[in-house]
Amino acid sequence: MDRGGGGSRRAAFLVLRLNEPHREYVTLKHDGRAIQALVVLPKVKNKASIVILVHEIFDLSDWAKTMADELADEGYIVVAPDLLSGYGPNGGGYNEFADQDARVEAVSSLDPAGVLADLDAAVDFGMNLPAANGKVAVVGFSWVVGNPSGSPRTART
C-alpha cells in the first residue's frame, strides 16, 4: 500500500538507476606517472566512440562528472582524467586540495607537455577498450592547453 505517493517515486528512481551508464575510476599509467580517471560506459549494444573529457579549470568537479554521464547517455564511452592526480597534498588529486581557489591555481600551473601526455594516456586507454569503435574526440571546458607558439593543441588523435 502506497502511503503518500512515495512508492511510485521510488519505483521511478529504481528504473532510472537501472538505466544509468556504468561509472568507475581507473588508474592510467604512462612515463612513470599514475593518474586517476573517471570512465563512464554507455548502455549500448554496439561498439562506441570515445570522448576524452578534459575537466574545467575548477577540476574534475561534480559538473564535469555530470557532463560525463550525459555524454555516456548519448552513447559515448567517456574517459575523464584527473589532471591534478599526484599534484595535490599528500600526492592526491583534485579532491585533496583545500578549496576551489587552490585547485584553480594548481590547474593553472600544470605543465602543458605533461597535460598532453596525460591526455595521450587517456586516448590509449580508451582506444584499447573492447567496447571502443576506434573513433575518439577530445573535448574540454574553460581552459586551453597551449604549445610554445601559443596555438591551442589537443592530445594526439
Tell me the pLDDT band of 152, cut-offs 50, 70 and 90: very low
The pLDDT of residue 19 is 54
Q: What is the mean pLDDT of residues 141-151?
A: 51
Residue 126 contacts residue 76 (beta carbons within 8 Å): no
Nearest-angstrom CA–CA distance, 94 and 63: 14
Q: Residue 106 is part of a domain; what is its CATH number?
A: 3.40.50.1820
Does 120 fall in a domain? yes
Sign of CA dihedral 18, 23, 24, 30: positive
Does 99 fall in a domain? yes
pTM of the prediction? 0.78
Q: In whole angstroms, what separates CA 8 from the centre of its chain? A: 33
Q: pLDDT tens-digit profile of 53-107? A: 998 888 788 888 999 999 999 999 999 999 999 998 988 888 888 998 998 899 8
Nearest-angstrom CA–CA distance, 146 and 113: 9
Does 131 fall in a domain? yes
The pLDDT of residue 144 is 53
